[in-house]
Amino acid sequence: MGHLLISVAGAGLFCLIQLPAFAVNRPDPCSMDTAGKDAVCRAASDGIPAADTISSAIISGLRPLKQAGIRRTEIDSIALNENISLSMAGLLAHNSAVFIRQYGRATLSTVSIRGTAASHTQVLWNGMKINSPMLGMTDFSLVPAYFMDHAEILHGTSSLQETGGGIGGAVIMESRLPDTPGLDIRYIQGIGSYLTADEFLKVAYRGPKFSTSTKLLLSTSKNDFRFVNMDKKEIAYDENMNITDSWHPVEKNENGQFRDFHLMQDLGYDFGKGHSLSLSAWYMDSWRQIPPISVDYGSPDRLLNEQKEQALRAVAAWTKSRHSGRTRISAGYSWSKLGYDYARERGDGSYAWMTKSRSTSHTLYIKGRHEQYFGTKWLLCADAAWYGHSIESADEASLRPEGSGYSADAVEVSAAVSVKWQPVRRLGISFTLREEFFDKDFSPVIPALNMDFLVSEAWNLYLKGSASLNYRHPALNDLYFVPGGNPELKSESGFCYEAGYSLDRTFGHAVRLTAEGSWFDSFVDDWILWLPEGAKKNFWTPVNMMKVHAYGVEQKLGADWNFAKRWNFRFDGNFTWSPSIDMSRSGNEQDSSFGKQLPYVPEFSGSFTAGLTFADWSFLWKWCWYSRRYTMSSNEDSVSGSVPPYLMNDISLGRKFGFRRMDLSVGLSVNNLFDRQYVTVLSRPMPGINYEIYIGITPKFKVK
Amino acid sequence: MGRKISLFTLWLFSIAAAVGCTKNDGTDTGPDFSFVPKQGQTLFIAAEGNWGAGNASLSCYDIGNGSVENDVFYRANDQKLGDTAQSMTLYDGTLWIVVNGSNVIFAVDPVTFREKGRISGLNSPRYIHFISDSKAYVTQMYDGDILIVDPTTYSVTGKIETGASSTEQMVQSGDDVIVNCWSSQKEILKIDTGTDAVTGRLEVGIQPVAMQLDLRGKLWVLNDGSNAWPGNPIGSEAPSLKMIDPENFTIEKSFEFAEDSPVNGAFTMNAAKDSLFFLNGAVYAMSIDDSTLPASPLFKVDGAMALYDLAVSPVNSEIYVSDALDYQQNGIVCRYSADGELRGVFKAGITPGSFCWY
């Protein structure tokens, strides 16, 4: 039999729920100690369209006590390793119910969960929060999906299990050490449209005690895709300077080059008896030009508009695992140096500088977390995290001869105690209290209650419900940016409750069906918005402006079907309906924003990935759709009042060849298959159909 | 088995075809306006939009019947006005719209709204001022040089080095043009239009934001004082109003506002040029002969959220005040009688920032 079929559903697994959670975590294909593990993980790590062997793993299981009532979307490890050019922004767009706001290809991309703002999404890597302390958000275009071995979204109240401030939710990412013993070397090269080149190298080793994984990625592109500029017209004059003709020009995405370099090192040592030490470090050096907007009539040749960012993030962790619990102590450091230049050449070689900002941030981090089981029905979790931020931000543009900027030091503390109780086999209850401190302010105590109830063992059907408060402190730029920072800002506060279900059922050995859905309802007060500091002033300032009511439905559906020998079909779909309504009353009857959808939040969105594999062949189809996004708070249908709905189709095809000394993988990805012209942000064009081919080489070693 | 696979594949591709086809969202645009602008009866409003969003627009208001047409530039030309429409000037039957963030100045027919030409390749243009039919000055935000342009050929023909980091509004005083240097600066400049050279500089206060010339030829300069930004490298102070003799370039009168006055660049005169109007949280008016600033406003704008600009009708002295509301929706323009009686409200584009009478 050319493939291995694993089915761990059934009575045997159900019995495991009686054991402590560490023994009953739902099997992750990349952490299973089964014969199928190698096949699954290797296929997922080839960096080309996932090809072989995925068909062989059909797994289902009950949720561990630790996840009682939790609403989470785990990103499939196969999706994480789909191809080396994919950022987390691109990944989440097709594999989850979040909205990605992209300012263009390889430019700022932020994540919005459940109709909230980008800063309402907390992002953790290996346990450390990596949201910019200055901006409060994370640019997901700078996070290569291929570097992450695990990613999940905690929706709404569930994010409080990990951190505070995630009014929309949290994105949890981890890089992990190899599971398979021995040496694993992998080199992948991708070449694509717009002179795009991606190089990836991974060297990993797992020994009895020591493990290491080194990943390198270099991505470069001229990124000069063409598009029909419907916002502009070219004109022709006659000899008397009368316009004789006009047309929408075909333009290039000028000034859009980028070069991103990432290096990640994971080290681990297993001391035995449950003790282990790990170190993860991630260095990034990114240079990105920023294209002019579609209505810019300046000469791109005279434009200097680019962003340079260097960042180092490192986390060391000591973990002690026991049958009755686990303790993890971690410490980390994050450094980021961000430069943004915006200038235009005057025509004589000199530049008129508009912005020359330089920001440096240092963050120290210490976190402790302990999980303790008391019998099989009680779990106590406690964690405390301390972050010390130090910021230097300056604008050296010549417009302000003496420059301007700010320095700030801030301490951020988050601590929580959580009790999880399983009074009867079918019922799980989790109650969490979290307290946060930022800069000078304590948040009120934040309670969260999560519950679930097992309705059907056969269908692994749970009903879930939760409710919580949440607070998000202003980011340091909100408080201190010069000019405009507002030290008087209050924290944003939210209340959210939700109810939903999840099911997970296997049918025989060939079919697995999963589904999850929830209704959520949240209210956010003191929403922070940056607005002009009075009319005709030359800077903006943040204010606590809005009350927002965000509610809706999230629905997820998954299927895995081995419909014939060596054939497999997988499907993962998401649908979200998320009205996010401005409930602020200004008192001005001409203000039309009350009761309207927030700008740039789609009311409807959907996505799916569908994969078909046969032996060493694979085919993947990714689809996403967003309804109209209004750009104005009054929800106008005028030409600039909204950006049109769009749907996107990407496909990829892969083939793997096995040789005696190595495996060879080749793949082709086609993005924007139907060559749709679209934007996700006004005046920021996105590329049409584009291609990338990949070749991957994995040497075989005799001793593993 | 083969048939099973074929059917499955067929199903897969039929789904692909279905989801790949969407309706073209293109909008059929064409001139379809409810009125034709007439001289003496029309007010143009340029809405700045949001910087970086490219959502500036042009509105046209018929004073006679009180109707408004929004987005007229886009509707007439099937192209967007651009990013941050900063100012408008009507010269010799052509409306010149300076679009700061788009680095372009459009020449527009004020009757058909159709583009007549454009000056492009600029560097954050702010205002255009005509010296003659074939010569105009263009100030810039991010370049202290003032560009000299030929409006007949839509081309840049030269530049004036000013030594300032940016330049803003311009008024004509005899053969001179007076220019204020606003952002993080203190000066106004005098430029000889014959030699295109700076012939005078005068410190008038922190951030001179707007200027007017009265009927006696005196120059009035409004300084916003950067009072909302104490950390401004140039400093901050209470806003002030200065009366300047443009000939000998000296300050003759000085008026100081209260420290926290929300004075901005909304500053204009009536047709007789004997009264000044400005916004300071409400609409204020003062005679050019007054010896103090007005203690109370001419009128307040009920429910105002973000008062932005104002204009006084040269025909009947009615006062038009714009309110940007939350800066994320179409702002409003309130029409008042000369003594402050509300006569109407209409919506223009996002952040209605400048007015031009036709």
pLDDT digits (tens, 9 = 90+) for B176-193: 999 999 988 999 999 999
- Which is nearest to A553 in space by CA: A489, A603, A614? A603
Tokens at A296, concatenated: 């810019």
pLDDT at B11: 52
Tokens at A518, concatenated: 């929830």
| Cβ-count burial A266-294 (b if 16+ within 10 Å, e if not) | bbbebeeeeebebebbbbbbbbbbbbbbb
Q: Is the pLDDT of residue A378 over 50?
A: yes
Q: Is the pLDDT of residue A38 over 50?
A: no
- When mean pLDDT is compared across A91-100, A494-503, B126-135, B269-278, the lowest value belongs to A91-100
Taking CB atoms and an 8 Å limit, are B54 and A644 in contact across chains?
no
Taking CB atoms and an 8 Å limit, are A599 and B77 in contact across chains?
no
Query: Is residue A7 exposed (0-12), middle (13-18) or buried (19+ Cβ within 10 Å)?
Result: middle
Nearest beta carbon to residue A639 from set B74, B120, B166: B74
* CA-based nearest distance A581→chain B, Å: 15
> Strands A169-174 and A121-125, how do they pair?
parallel
pLDDT (mean) for B275-296? 97
Q: Measured in whole angstroms, how far is the alpha carbon of residue A681 from the centre of its chain?
A: 18
Q: Tell me the C-alpha distance between A671 and A619, whole Å.
A: 14
Nearest beta carbon to residue A649 from set B4, B19, B262: B19
**B123, B153, B346: best to mutate for the A interface, most A CBs within 10 A:** B123
Q: SS3 sequence, A461-494?
A: EEEEEEEEEEEECCCHHHHHCCCCCCCCCCCEEE
The mean of the pLDDT values for chain B is: 91
Q: Is A56 left (phi over 0), alpha (psi -120 to 50) or beta?
A: alpha
Q: Is the pLDDT of residue A28 over 50?
A: no
CB A148 within 8 A of CB A174: yes
Q: Is the pLDDT of residue A308 over 70?
A: yes
Q: How confident is the model at residue A538 (pLDDT cuts 50, 70, 90)?
A: low
Is any Cβ of chain A less than 8 angstroms from the Cβ of B12?
yes
pLDDT (mean) for A640-649? 94
Q: What is the pLDDT of residues A195-210, one digit of tens each?
A: 999 999 999 999 999 9
Q: Which residues on A lie below 8 Å from B16 (Cβ)?
A: 621, 649
Is any Cβ of chain B less than 8 angstroms from the Cβ of A236?
no
The mean of the pLDDT values for chain A is: 88
Q: What is the pLDDT of residues A153-163, one digit of tens each?
A: 999 999 999 99
Q: Is the pLDDT of residue B57 over 90?
A: yes
Cα dihedral value A292, A296, A298, A302, nearest 10: 0
Q: What is the pLDDT of residues A100-124, one digit of tens each?
A: 988 888 889 999 999 999 999 999 9
Q: What is the pLDDT of residues A682-699, one digit of tens each?
A: 999 999 999 999 999 999
Is any Cβ of chain A less than 8 angstroms from the Cβ of B354?
no
Is any Cβ of chain A less than 8 angstroms from the Cβ of B86?
no
pLDDT (mean) for A587-596? 92
pLDDT at A77: 85
Nearest Cα residue in chain B from A623: B19
CB B286 within 8 A of CB B293: yes
Nearest Cα residue in chain B from A299: B121
pLDDT (mean) for B84-96? 97
Nearest beta carbon to residue B123 from set A298, A625, A636: A298
Q: Which of 472-501 (A) contact B at CB < 8 A?
A: 482-484
Rg of chain B over all Cα atoms, to the nearest angstrom: 24
pLDDT at A61: 59
Q: How confident is the model at residue A498 (pLDDT cuts 50, 70, 90)?
A: very high
Nearest beta carbon to residue B266 from set A230, A535, A592: A535
Q: How confident is the model at residue A348 (pLDDT cuts 50, 70, 90)?
A: confident
**pTM of structure:** 0.88
Q: Is the pLDDT of residue A271 over 80?
A: yes
Percent of chain A with pLDDT over 90: 77
Q: Which of 99-158 (B) contact A at CB < 8 A?
A: 99, 101-104, 115-118, 120-124, 140-145, 152-154
* CA-based nearest distance A348→chain B, Å: 12
DSSP H/E element including A338: strand A325-345
**B145, B328, B333: best to mutate for the A interface, most A CBs within 10 A:** B328
Q: What is the pLDDT of residues B305-353, one digit of tens each?
A: 999 999 999 999 999 999 999 999 999 999 999 999 999 999 999 999 9
Tokens at A537, concatenated: 């002033």
CB A284 within 8 A of CB A271: no
Taking CB atoms and an 8 Å limit, are A346 and B279 in contact across chains?
no
Is any Cβ of chain A less than 8 angstroms from the Cβ of B166?
yes
Q: Which residues on A lie below 8 Å from B184 (Cβ)?
A: 399-401, 538
- When mean pLDDT is compared across A18-27, A494-503, A510-519, the lowest value belongs to A18-27
Q: How confident is the model at residue B356 (pLDDT cuts 50, 70, 90)?
A: very high
Nearest beta carbon to residue B20 from set A294, A352, A673: A673
Nearest Cα residue in chain A from B81: A295
pLDDT (mean) for A364-376? 96
In Å, what is the CA distance from A563 to each residue of A514, A620, B13, B206? 17, 16, 17, 76
Q: Which CATH code for domain A9-299+314-346+366-699?
A: 2.40.170.20
Q: Which residues on B lie below 8 Å from A343 (Cβ)?
A: 142
Q: How confident is the model at residue A587 (pLDDT cuts 50, 70, 90)?
A: confident
- Which is nearest to A270 in space by CA: A322, A208, A314? A208
* CA-based nearest distance B272→chain A, Å: 26
pLDDT at A509: 84
Q: Which of 241-260 (B) contact A at CB < 8 A?
A: none
Alpha helices (H) in A59-113, listed in sequence order: 77-80, 88-95
pLDDT at A402: 55
* CA-based nearest distance B225→chain A, Å: 11
Tokens at B90, concatenated: 């009507």
Taking CB atoms and an 8 Å limit, are A297 and B124 in contact across chains?
no
Nearest Cα residue in chain B from A353: B142
pLDDT at A27: 34
| Cβ-count burial A124-146 (b if 16+ within 10 Å, e if not) | bbbbbbbbbbbbbbbbbbbbbbb
pLDDT at A702: 66
Q: How confident is the model at residue A487 (pLDDT cuts 50, 70, 90)?
A: very high
Q: Tell me the C-alpha distance between B252 and B244, whole Å.
A: 5
- Which is nearest to B294 in space by CA: B265, B255, B320, B263? B255
Taking CB atoms and an 8 Å limit, are B115 and A484 in contact across chains?
no
Q: What is the pLDDT of residues A322-345, one digit of tens each?
A: 989 999 999 999 999 999 999 988
Cα dihedral value A78, A80, A85, A89, nearest 10: 140
φ, ψ of residue A11 to 5 degrees: the values are -60, -35
